[in-house]
Amino acid sequence: MGQRKILISYIFLILLFLTACRKDVPKGQLIQATGFVIDSVKNKKLSDVTVYLYGAHSTFYGVYYDDGPLDSTISDKDGNFSIKYNAEGNSVDYALAIGNVVYGGYTNQTNYVIDISHPIYIFDYSYQLTDVALKARELNYARVNLKVLSNPYDTLYLDVSTTYGELFLRNRFIGRSVDTSFLTRYLPNTTNIFEYKILSSRIVDSATMFIRRMPDTLQSVLKDTIVISKIINTTYNIPLKPY
């Protein structure tokens, strides 16, 4: 039994060594991919989506696709995209993504976020990919009717986010009272959090690292536009909670 464990450990170390020693793609090698961007929930191709190319580096602990983005392209009206890139000689492999793989997938694209179950599409040490189905999620609209009768803190924030962090939008309102109707976005078919916050640096009755925040949970819906109506008598009554 002891010899078997030693053999398994030896094989594991060899595999790690081979992974860590993988050579960079030669400088000037053409890296190319064609495919389409598709919403995995709505099952529709998505136009005007920015597709990013990332490079990978190899360490003793594995391969990480977080170099870049090195290049980008945009899907056409039919959702199709094509990208070509000359290797810089510093990457062992490449991957496609629509978000920032370094910071957890966040994307500054107006209409789309990553598909959390398929955040990247790796080349897997190939130089050419065809018919890539790159997953993304299209955002829908939320019309918020917001009325705040009294806002002694002057500034109120409404943050829209999702459970797994694909989406984060911040809406800011200034004034001793608020009476407005506006459009924001939400991610359909998943749980969204609409959180009302006071982020004033000095709140006289707050403890350290406590802020006034009040989350409303929007459960999975798939409507093109939803309507949310919210009335807050006074933001002073928004509960103090840990930041």
Q: What is the pLDDT of residues 170-218, one digit of tens each?
A: 999 999 999 999 999 999 999 999 999 998 755 545 556 678 999 999 9
pLDDT of 10 higher than 60: no
| Angle at CA of residue 75, ends 73 and 81, nearest 5° | 75
CA 50, distance to chain mean position in Å, is 13
Chosen domain end from 81, 109, 138: 138
Domain containing 179 — which CATH number? Answer: 2.60.40
Q: Are residues 117 and 6 in the same domain?
A: yes
Are residues 44 and 106 part of one domain? yes
Note the pTM of the prediction, 2 decimals. Answer: 0.81
More confidently predicted of 231 and 163:
231
The domain containing residue 33 runs over which residues?
A: 2-138
Per-residue pLDDT of 120-173, as tens digits, reads 999 999 999 999 999 999 999 999 999 999 999 889 999 999 988 889 999 999
Interval 94-121 mean pLDDT? 87
Furthest-apart CA atoms within the chain: distance in Å = 75
Say whether the peptide bond before residue 69 is cis (omega within 30 degrees of 0): yes
Q: Do 225 and 131 fall within a single domain?
A: no
φ, ψ of residue 222 in degrees (nearest 5): -130, 20
Distance, in Å, from the CA atom of 186 to the CA atom of 205, rounded to the nearest integer, reads 33
15 pLDDT exceeds 70? no
